[in-house]
Amino acid sequence: MKRPLLALATAAISGLVVTAPVTLMAGPASAGGDYGPDTCLEGYVWREARPSDHVCVSPQERAQVQKDNAIKESRWVSGANGPHTCTDDFEWRNAFPGDDVCVFGKERIDVEVQNRIAASRVVSAKLWVTRYTVPPVDNGDGTASSTSVDDIPRLKINGDHFNLGQVRLYIRYTSGKVFWSGTVTASRHTGYTAGSFGKKTGVFDCSGGGKPANAYAQAQDVISGRWSAKVPVTVGCAVL
């Protein structure tokens, strides 16, 4: 039977696994629950410079923002910038367009940084699939053993923007029936954001010859409950 062929993809993460204690942080939109696409990574909460402000910050940064909001009127005077001109030593925070809460210059810079790195602090659960083959096994005597399926590509599930800790992995047929499942521990890897991983599934890639996808890979961040998007794959072919 003709074997499925596909060029091997690059940029897969090495399958490193570490174990780390998990501590949930209390606060709005923390990782201890699924708060939608703006769910914060563990240790961060929504800033809420205004009710719709879902930039993820540390609890200490959020506390400072709430303090500045509570005393904002005491820092306003009528002047060159209208009735909300800042008193001496203060300037507008600019957490969002039109944010005229007055803060010290350092706090304005902190908020600017928070806005710039906002995407790196949410559980966006990014997932992609690469392929790998199994190398011959070293027999220890200068020879190596291989099998007839070693050169058939297999599926590796990769991800980043997860919490550090356990991630559940699934390959399901489009009907929803589970074809394969497993777990992996997301940890920090250079070049990837937040918790990342690479899991070799052992599942053969059956997309050779232009076969359409009949299944999908998906991952769930255990700490928050957030699911990744579904990545189409082709599985279940007979291999000789």
d(CA 121, CA 53): 14
Residue after which a domain boundary falls, among 89, 121, 153: 121
pLDDT confidence band for 150 (50 / 70 / 90): confident
- 163 in a domain, yes or no? yes
Are residues 94 and 184 both part of a single domain?
no
pTM of the predicted structure, to 2 decimals: 0.83
- pLDDT per residue over 212-230, tens digit each? 999 999 999 999 999 999 9
- Tell whether 33 is covered by a domain: no
One domain for residues 116 and 136: no
The band of 138, judged by pLDDT with boundaries at 50, 70 and 90, is low
List, in order, residues 6 or more apart from 152 with CB less than 8 Å away.
3, 4, 133, 204, 205, 239
Shared-domain flag, residues 169 and 88: no
Q: With contact defined as beta carbons under 8 Å apart, do 196 and 187 qualify? A: yes
Closest CA relative to residue 219, chosen from 178, 173, 171: 171
In this predicted structure, what is the pLDDT of residue 23?
33
Q: Is residue 25 part of a domain?
A: no
Q: Is residue 197 part of a domain?
A: yes
Whether 166 has a pLDDT exceeding 70, the answer reads: yes
User: Greater confidence, 24 or 107?
Assistant: 107
**Is 111 in the same domain as 133?**
no
Domain, as residue range, for 166: 126-233
Mean pLDDT estimate for the chain: 87
- 139 and 86 belong to one structural domain: no
Q: Which pLDDT belongs to residue 85?
A: 98
Same-domain check for residues 138 and 81: no
Report d(CA 232, CA 128) in Å as an integer.
Answer: 9
* Domain-located, residue 20: no
pLDDT at 139 over 80: no
Tokens, residue 136 = 């011959």
Other C-beta atoms within 10 Å of 35: how many? 19
Cα 178 from Cα 169, distance rounded (Å): 10
